[in-house]
């Protein structure tokens, strides 16, 4: 099966989860090619239509798999090749973007969302729920003390790894910072996750006292699933599929949008780490079918369905 992957390339490359998914599809026998969209806004995307048409002519794919609402809409403007769409979060969760995604759904063949919350928002039972996989060859538990030593972190300090850049407004860094301040300790640091490779993220997750997410909205956040795969304590607001994965799971603390609730979650996570316990996160990742092989096989089933239709 020949698959052309279409996604935004404004950062010069596809996002890590798209790259990882492409690699696993190749491992499963697909011939995969990538087309990156360069440009922002509707007119920026439209300028890529000729380039996409040329790529289709050269590669001759059986189908196109487009990631995010605007990419799906662009890919669906050509009517030669069936399009499989994956929506990742904001393209469904934010109302002003959802209308473009719904138009894209009308034009594309099969549809994937990354959480049941997104499926409920669309009110469409035909949508497949397939989260992005966790690369368990990179994200797995390692020695806590050894990882901290590699990073040069102090034994007496506590390090809380934030889910993203502090400047990403959707991630709600001010609430995380207020919670750290509320803990009233100079020894607790909030670590910004920015400009790191996947392996660097894995080292940070294994070295930190807790992984913290305070986002306003998410689809199926990789940060949380990767923390779980590393058996790291998790503190998160109830976004995306986080409640499905973490509810009532020891070492995982779901919090409200208040500094006191988040601070209490961090405190409990640090106490859990102090007891030298590991979470059952790696088992849950396997149980929910989130390994690369499991996710790739489910995606290929959607491809087969799209081609039959």
pLDDT at 110 over 80: yes
Statement: residue 243 has pLDDT above 90: yes
The residues spanned by each domain of the chain are: 2-133+291-308, 144-287
pLDDT tens-place string over residues 153-187: 999 999 999 999 999 999 999 999 999 999 999 99
pLDDT tens digits, 175-222: 999 999 999 999 999 999 999 999 999 999 999 999 999 999 898 999
Radius of gyration of the chain (CA): 20
- Predicted pLDDT of residue 256: 97
Q: What is the mean pLDDT of residues 4-10?
A: 93
DSSP annotation of 10 reads: T
**pLDDT above 90 (res 122):** no
To the nearest whole percent, how much of the chain has pLDDT over 90? 75
Same fold, 2-133+291-308 and 144-287: yes
95: pLDDT strictly greater than 80: no
Residues 6+ apart with CB under 8 A from 101: 69, 72, 73, 87, 91, 92
pTM of the model: 0.83
- How far apart, in whole angstroms, are the C-alpha atoms of residue 208 and residue 139? 14
Considering the domain delimited by 2-133+291-308, tell me its CATH architecture: 3-Layer(aba) Sandwich (3.40)
pLDDT above 80 for 276: no
What average pLDDT does this structure show over 250-259?
96
Residue pair 243/117 in contact by the 8 Å Cβ criterion: no
Mean pLDDT (whole number) for 3-20: 91
- The domain made up of 144-287 has a fold known as Rossmann fold (3.40.50)
């Amino acid at each position: 099966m020949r698959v052309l992957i279409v996604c935004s390339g404004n950062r010069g490359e596809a996002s890590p989860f798209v790259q990882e998914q492409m690699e696993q599809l190749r491992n499963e026998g697909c011939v995969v090619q990538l087309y990156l969209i360069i440009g922002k806004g509707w007119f920026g995307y439209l300028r890529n239509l000729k380039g996409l048409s040329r790529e289709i002519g050269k590669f001759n794919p059986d189908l196109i798999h487009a990631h995010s609402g605007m990419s799906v809409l662009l890919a669906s403007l050509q009517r030669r090749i069936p399009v499989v769409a994956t929506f990742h979060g904001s393209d469904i969760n934010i109302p002003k973007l959802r209308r473009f995604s719904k138009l894209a759904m009308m034009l594309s063949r099969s549809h994937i969302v990354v959480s049941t919350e997104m499926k409920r928002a669309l009110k469409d039972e035909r949508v497949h729920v397939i989260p992005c996989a966790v690369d368990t060859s990179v994200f797995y538990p390692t020695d806590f003390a050894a990882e901290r030593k590699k990073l040069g972190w102090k034994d007496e300090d506590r390090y809380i790894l934030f889910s993203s850049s502090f400047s990403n407004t959707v991630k709600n860094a001010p609430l995380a910072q207020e919670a750290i301040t509320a803990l009233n300790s100079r020894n607790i640091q909030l670590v910004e996750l920015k400009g790191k490779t996947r392996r660097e993220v894995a080292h940070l997750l294994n070295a930190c006292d807790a992984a913290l997410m305070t986002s306003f909205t998410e689809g199926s956040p990789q940060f949380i699933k990767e923390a779980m795969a590393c058996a790291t304590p998790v503190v998160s607001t109830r976004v995306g599929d986080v409640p499905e994965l973490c509810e009532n799971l020891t070492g995982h603390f779901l919090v409200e949008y208040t500094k006191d609730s988040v601070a209490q979650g961090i405190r409990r996570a640090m106490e859990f780490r102090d007891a030298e316990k590991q979470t059952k996160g790696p088992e849950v990742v396997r149980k929910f079918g989130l390994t690369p092989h499991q996710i790739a096989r489910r995606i290929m089933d959607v491809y087969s369905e799209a081609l039959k239709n």
